[in-house]
């Protein structure tokens, strides 16, 4: 698979799944089969906390930039993706009313 194909699949898939995640989070009565809204929130936030960094790492390591221009484009794309990803996790955390507790 080429980098462009990998990124397009990840971008389209991530965008659709992100929109669905926000939709589910915005409805306080949403469930998924036997999974409660609270459980769904924890699963989705766990997914979004882990999968995007793995995707970006795989993109960087598995498809090493060929030249300096490709490297700069990849860095810029990863920066934008990271910002969107962190915003999504923050929005889901608020919408699912997840409390961060220590200890």
pLDDT band at 3 (very low <50, low <70, confident <90, very high): confident
Question: pLDDT tens across 21-76, in order?
Answer: 999 999 999 999 999 999 999 999 999 999 999 999 999 999 887 889 988 988 99
Residue appearing with tokens 């409660």: 36
> How far apart are the C-alpha atoms of 35 and 15, rounded to whole Å?
23
What confidence score (pLDDT) does residue 67 get?
Answer: 87
Question: pLDDT tens across 73-88, in order?
Answer: 889 999 999 999 999 9
Is 70 exceeded by the pLDDT of residue 102?
no
The tokens for 5 are 């194909």
Note the pTM of the prediction, 2 decimals: 0.87
Q: How far is CA 92 from CA 29, 39, 57, in A?
A: 15, 13, 23
What confidence score (pLDDT) does residue 103 get?
Answer: 56
- Buried b / exposed e across 50-75, counting CB within 10 Å, b at 16+? eebeebbeebeeebeeeeeeeeeebe
> Which secondary-structure segment (H or E) carries 37?
helix 37-62
The radius of gyration of the chain from alpha carbons, rounded to an integer in Å, stands at 16
């Amino acid at each position: 698979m080429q980098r462009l194909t990998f990124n397009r699949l990840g971008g389209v898939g991530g965008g659709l799944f992100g929109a669905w995640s926000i939709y589910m989070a915005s409805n306080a009565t949403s469930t998924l089969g036997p999974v409660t809204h609270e459980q769904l929130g924890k699963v989705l936030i766990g997914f979004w906390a882990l999968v995007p960094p793995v995707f970006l790492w795989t993109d960087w390591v598995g498809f090493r930039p060929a030249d300096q221009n490709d490297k700069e484009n990849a860095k810029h794309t990863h920066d934008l993706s990271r910002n969107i990803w962190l915003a999504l996790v923050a929005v889901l955390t608020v919408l699912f009313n997840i409390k961060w507790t220590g200890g």
